[in-house]
């Protein structure tokens, strides 16, 4: 995924573009660039690597004598072509008059590239994006209108593309294009903004216009016109921009990740307050008619990627336990390519924090085609995935900036617990006292989360003690298998330590060969749970192979004091709710380990916040 911005107005264009790109850095950070239209002279500035490198290039320029009124910018997560200056956006036409930035993938770029080469266009990068530049330029040379050229060109492109486009001969406008990749227009006072995502316009624009797929906006300083790809005018109602600069500040934390980990108790308090007055009241589902949505449903398929897939694993246990409906969980990238048995009696739940993950969107679209009802669980109700939903369960966890998902995962868990309870209440599939007990425990969760967040010394010590290890094994059973997977993913993605999550019962079927004094084993376990004794046996098997043992558990287990080298404990909680609490030490262990290793915690290498390509 990449981030694109555009600005047309009287402020210092390069500064507006740079600050916009800064707030989109979570979308990718291989390289960056901007193009400025200085009274008809289009200048492009690009740099490889972090955005600071581009800042240094721009700081070396003197813009004081220029008359720049518009510009576009881009921050890249490489898909086609390595992270080089040549592949950095913006890309220019051969005559240097047309310039463009792009987020997405042009699927038919190869055949178009060959066609354009045959017509004499020269290419200077390995990107799919450059194909779009020359295609629009070819149309422009015939139609002599940027709007007409763009409309003609997009009909020849397949795939996903959000563009910002400028032309030397039409310095009064920027054209923004949206197809299967997010793009918004921010409205200001005699100035307007274009961006891939809201953080780039917070504190700048006063209102927002959400472009839909197959739409383009002709953005001038004092007005914005939206049309479809046939050139027909579309009436858009600008919406209030309900975010403040505070929403994307670090609030004094060193990293967004640590801030977002610490926001979790309040976020869960807010979710609970909106959905559940007290343990004796039915769960509200924010306008979602659970009864109608689940009517006639004989199977639930939950589809997601990454951390959201781990939330799906937890949800499977909860829904099967409380509703008795069979649930399957599938990685979206696997679901797409298998024989799909989804039908009209299936409810497909697509979980995606960003709502822009290409694999999940493709899978949800496929499930819909097979007749399933679609429920999307997302933190972005303005995202692409929502378009395919019969119902939306909003996380309302606030903007999650850090690439590592933390607060959104916890909000996914609690939202899905509440939904399962709501369905169980409608279907009378669980004893009322069980449901009210769960609701009471949910209400107590935020305070317990704060206890964990307030006692991080043991976690920090473990991080410092084990950060030199090259590998880790995480084991658990039952509902906490997802916790083992999620904890291992967090450690991998921000510390770059190889961590594998395994079903503890599977250890003896192969992974136990990995164990020795250099392979720490982290066990997630719940004293008193059905699988506790078996977990202890697995830990003893690991200990017998000289592995060092770290227990993440709901209370210190004195009965096995000598078994564990470390015990990280959280307040007692029932096994079914324990993933919410047990996951917090796993988030913090990953964070402090990455910190100890000096990693780029919020922008880990090779990653992006949302993977908008398959």
Q: Is 333 in the site for ligand AGP (CB under 6 A)?
A: no
Question: Which residue is nearest to ligand AGP, using beta carbons?
Answer: 306
* Residue that has been written with the tokens 């995502």 in this structure: 197
Q: For the CA atoms of 571, 577, 580, 585, what is the dihedral angle to 10 degrees?
A: 40
Q: Is 350 in the site for ligand AGP (CB under 6 A)?
A: no
Size of the site for ligand AGP (CB under 6 A): 15
Q: Which of these segments, 2-10, 206-214, 301-309, 465-473, binds ligand AGP (CB under 6 A)?
A: 301-309
Q: Is 103 in the site for ligand AGP (CB under 6 A)?
A: no
How far does the chain reach from its first CA to its final CA, in angstroms? 10
- Nearer of residues 191 and 493 to ligand AGP, judged by Cβ: 493
Among 180, 415, 578, 610, the residue binding ligand AGP under the rule CB under 6 A is 610
- Nearer of residues 311 and 459 to ligand AGP, judged by Cβ: 311
501 by Cβ neighbours in 10 Å (0-12 / 13-18 / 19+) ranks as: buried
Please tell me the number of Cα atoms within 13 Å of 270 on its side-chain side. Answer: 13
Q: Which of these segments, 302-310, 504-512, 521-529, 547-555, binds ligand AGP (CB under 6 A)?
A: 302-310
The encoded tokens of residue 350 equal: 């697509």
The DSSP-derived string for 541-604 is HHHHTT--EEEEESS--GGGTTT-SEEEE-----GGGHHHHHHHHHHHHHHHHHHHTT--TTS-
Q: For the chain, how long is the longest CA-to-CA vector?
A: 82
Which residues make Cβ contacts (< 8 Å) with residue 280, sequence separation at least 6?
436
Give the footprint of ligand AGP on residues 357-416 (CB under 6 A): 357, 360, 403-405
Among 152, 307, 346, 456, the residue binding ligand AGP under the rule CB under 6 A is 307
CA–CA gap between residue 326 and residue 320 (Å, rounded): 6
- Nearer of residues 149 and 358 to ligand AGP, judged by Cβ: 358
- Nearer of residues 154 and 358 to ligand AGP, judged by Cβ: 358
Please tell me the number of Cα atoms within 13 Å of 202 on its side-chain side. Answer: 16
Among 330, 493, 575, 595, the residue binding ligand AGP under the rule CB under 6 A is 493
- Nearer of residues 192 and 308 to ligand AGP, judged by Cβ: 308
- Nearer of residues 449 and 586 to ligand AGP, judged by Cβ: 586
Give the footprint of ligand AGP on residues 214-273 (CB under 6 A): none
Q: Is 79 in the site for ligand AGP (CB under 6 A)?
A: no
- Nearer of residues 403 and 577 to ligand AGP, judged by Cβ: 403
Active site residue 2: yes
CA–CA gap between residue 389 and residue 385 (Å, rounded): 7
Minimum separation from the CB atom of position 188 to ligand AGP (A): 29
The 3-state secondary structure of 389-417, one letter per residue: CCEEEECCCCCCCCCCCCHHHHHHHHHHH
CB 479 within 8 A of CB 317: yes
Q: Which of 2, 164, 462, 539 is catalytic?
A: 2
Q: Is 69 in the site for ligand AGP (CB under 6 A)?
A: no
Among 200, 216, 303, 305, the residue binding ligand AGP under the rule CB under 6 A is 305
Q: Is 587 in the site for ligand AGP (CB under 6 A)?
A: no
Q: Is 308 in the site for ligand AGP (CB under 6 A)?
A: yes
- Nearer of residues 186 and 306 to ligand AGP, judged by Cβ: 306
Minimum separation from the CB atom of position 241 to ligand AGP (A): 22
DSSP annotation of 257 reads H
Minimum separation from the CB atom of position 354 to ligand AGP (A): 3
Minimum separation from the CB atom of position 206 to ligand AGP (A): 28
Q: Is 611 in the site for ligand AGP (CB under 6 A)?
A: yes
CA–CA gap between residue 172 and residue 8 (Å, rounded): 8
Among 31, 131, 354, 495, the residue binding ligand AGP under the rule CB under 6 A is 354
CA–CA gap between residue 301 and residue 355 (Å, rounded): 17
Minimum separation from the CB atom of position 329 to ligand AGP (A): 14
Q: Is 306 in the site for ligand AGP (CB under 6 A)?
A: yes
- Nearer of residues 73 and 306 to ligand AGP, judged by Cβ: 306
Q: Which of these segments, 75-83, 107-115, 346-354, 518-526, binds ligand AGP (CB under 6 A)?
A: 346-354
The encoded tokens of residue 591 equal: 């964070």
Q: Which of these segments, 9-17, 56-64, 200-208, 353-361, binds ligand AGP (CB under 6 A)?
A: 353-361
In angstroms, the Cα distances linking 55 to 31, 33, 59, 368, 602 are: 12, 9, 6, 45, 19
Nearest to 377 by CA among 400, 395, 363, 361: 395
Q: Is 133 in the site for ligand AGP (CB under 6 A)?
A: no
Q: Which of 373, 439, 490, 609 is catalytic?
A: 609
- Nearer of residues 183 and 519 to ligand AGP, judged by Cβ: 183
The DSSP-derived string for 308-353 is HHHHHHHHHHHHHHHH--EEEEEEHHHHTTS-----TTEEEEEEES
CA–CA gap between residue 549 and residue 567 (Å, rounded): 9
The DSSP-derived string for 136-182 is HHHHHHHH--HHHHHHHHHTT--EEEEEEEEETT-TT-EEEEEESS-
CB 88 within 8 A of CB 49: no
Write out the catalytic residue numbers. 2, 609
Site residues for ligand AGP per CB under 6 A: 305-308, 352-354, 357, 360, 403-405, 493, 610-611
């Amino acid at each position: 995924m990449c981030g694109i911005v555009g600005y047309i107005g009287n402020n210092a264009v390069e500064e507006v573009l740079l600050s916009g790109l800064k707030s989109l850095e979570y979308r990718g950070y291989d390289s960056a660039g901007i193009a400025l239209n200085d009274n008809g002279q289009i200048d492009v500035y690009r740099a490889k690597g972090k955005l600071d490198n581009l800042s240094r290039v721009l700081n070396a320029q003197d813009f004081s004598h220029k008359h720049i009124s518009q510009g576009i910018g881009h921050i890249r997560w490489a898909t086609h072509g390595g992270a080089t200056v040549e592949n950095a956006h913006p890309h220019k036409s051969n005559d240097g008059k047309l310039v463009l930035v792009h987020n997405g993938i042009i699927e038919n770029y190869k055949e178009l590239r060959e066609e354009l080469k045959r017509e004499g266009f020269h290419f200077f990068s390995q990107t799919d994006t450059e194909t779009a530049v020359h295609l629009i330029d070819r149309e422009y040379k015939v139609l002599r209108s940027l709007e007409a050229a763009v409309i003609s060109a997009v009909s020849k492109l397949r795939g996903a593309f959000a563009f910002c486009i400028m032309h030397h001969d039409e310095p009064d406008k920027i054209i923004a294009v949206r197809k299967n990749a997010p793009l918004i227009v921010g409205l200001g006072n005699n100035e307007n903004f274009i961006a891939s995502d809201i953080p780039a316009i917070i504190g700048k624009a006063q209102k927002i216009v959400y472009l839909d797929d197959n739409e383009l906006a002709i953005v001038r300083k004092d007005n914005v016109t939206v049309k479809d790809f046939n050139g027909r005018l579309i009436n858009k109602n600008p919406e209030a921009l309900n975010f403040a600069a505070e929403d994307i500040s670090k609030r004094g934390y060193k990293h967004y990740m640590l801030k977002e980990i610490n926001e979790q108790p309040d976020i869960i308090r807010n979710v609970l307050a909106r959905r559940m007055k007290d343990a004796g009241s039915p769960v509200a589902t924010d306008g979602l008619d659970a009864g109608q949505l689940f009517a006639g449903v004989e199977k639930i398929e939950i589809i997601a990627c990454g951390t959201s897939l781990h939330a799906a694993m937890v949800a499977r246990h909860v829904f099967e336990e409380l509703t008795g409906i069979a649930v399957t969980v599938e990685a979206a990238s696997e679901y797409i390519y298998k024989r799909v048995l989804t039908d009209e009696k299936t409810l497909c739940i697509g979980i995606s924090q960003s709502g822009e993950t290409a694999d999940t969107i493709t899978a949800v679209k496929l499930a819909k085609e097979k007749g399933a009802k679609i429920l999307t669980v997302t933190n972005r109700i303005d995202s692409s995935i929502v378009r395919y939903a019969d119902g939306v369960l909003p996380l309302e966890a606030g903007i999650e900036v850090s690439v590592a998902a933390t607060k959104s995962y916890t909000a996914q868990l609690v939202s899905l617990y509440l939904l399962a309870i709501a369905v169980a209440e409608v279907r009378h599939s669980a004893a009322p006292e069980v449901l009210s007990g769960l609701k009471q425990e949910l209400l107590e969760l935020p305070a317990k989360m704060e206890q964990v967040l307030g006692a991080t010394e043991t976690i920090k010590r473990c991080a410092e003690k084990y950060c030199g290890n090259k590998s880790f094994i995480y084991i658990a059973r039952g509902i906490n298998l997802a916790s083992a997977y999620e904890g291992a993913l967090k450690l991998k993605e921000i510390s770059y330590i190889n961590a594998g999550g395994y079903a503890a019962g599977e250890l003896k079927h192969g992974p136990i060969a990995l164990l020795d004094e250099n392979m720490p084993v982290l066990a997630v376990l719940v004293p008193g749970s059905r699988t506790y004794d078996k977990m202890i046996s697995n830990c003893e098997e690991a200990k017998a192979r000289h592995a060092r043992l770290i227990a993440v558990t709901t209370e210190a287990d004195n009965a096995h004091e000598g078994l564990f080298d470390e015990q990280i404990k959280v307040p007692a909680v029932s096994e079914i709710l324990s993933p919410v609490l047990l996951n917090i030490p796993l988030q913090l262990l990953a964070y402090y380990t990455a910190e100890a290793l000096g990693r780029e915690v919020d922008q880990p290498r090779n990653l992006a916040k949302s993977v908008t390509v398959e």
